[in-house]
Amino acid sequence: MSIPLATATIILVEDDQNAQLVALDLLRMGGANRCYSRRSVDSAIFFAEKLPQVDLFLVDINMPQKSGFDLLEEVRQHEKLKSALVVAVTAGTLEHDTSTIHAFGFDGLISKPLRATEFANQIQRILDGERIWEAR
């Protein structure tokens, strides 16, 4: 399974507006054309249901109301969305945090702050089927 970044449908779920803008800019500068953002799990799921398909969710772990763990559970149980990749994008990169994320079943982890020169390449590698666990 390899999906070009330019044609992949990506939903970023991030409650911090500045972090959201940075990630979207880096994706678009890297060639992504179908990247969207939402500030909550419920909003992301509602939006995703209206799209023909979603290839990748990039999700912050620690958000108000529902967490990235909640999003992963909902996506995996959703008939239409369950094949989408779900990658944690988080500042919580202590060994305990990363092992919990891995054990929970995420498809990868990218730590914040994002590396501007590497982020789009990391996403393409994920879309190519590689499992990335890059914590600082």
Here the tokens at position 17 are 């507006």
Residues 6+ apart with CB under 8 A from 81: 45, 48, 49, 54, 74, 75
Query: In this predicted model, what pLDDT tens digit does every residue of 19-60 receive, in sequence order?
Result: 999 999 999 999 999 999 999 999 999 999 999 999 999 999
Here the tokens at position 71 are 């999003």
Per CATH, the architecture of 9-134 is what?
3-Layer(aba) Sandwich (3.40)
Indicate the pLDDT class of residue 95, thresholds 50, 70 and 90. low
SS3 state at 55: coil
Average pLDDT of every residue of the chain: 93
Which percentage of the chain shows pLDDT scores above 70? 95
Indicate the pLDDT class of residue 10, thresholds 50, 70 and 90. very high
DSSP 33: S
Instruction: Indicate whether 91 pLDDT > 90.
Output: no
Enclosing H/E stretch for 48: helix 41-49
The beta-strand segments (E) located in the chain are: 9-13, 34-38, 56-59, 85-90, 108-111, 133-134
Considering the entire predicted model, what is its pTM? Answer: 0.95
Instruction: Indicate whether 66 pLDDT > 80.
Output: yes
Q: Give the residue extent of every domain in the chain.
A: 9-134
pLDDT at 136: 67
Contact status, residue 56 vs residue 85, Cβ threshold 8 Å: yes
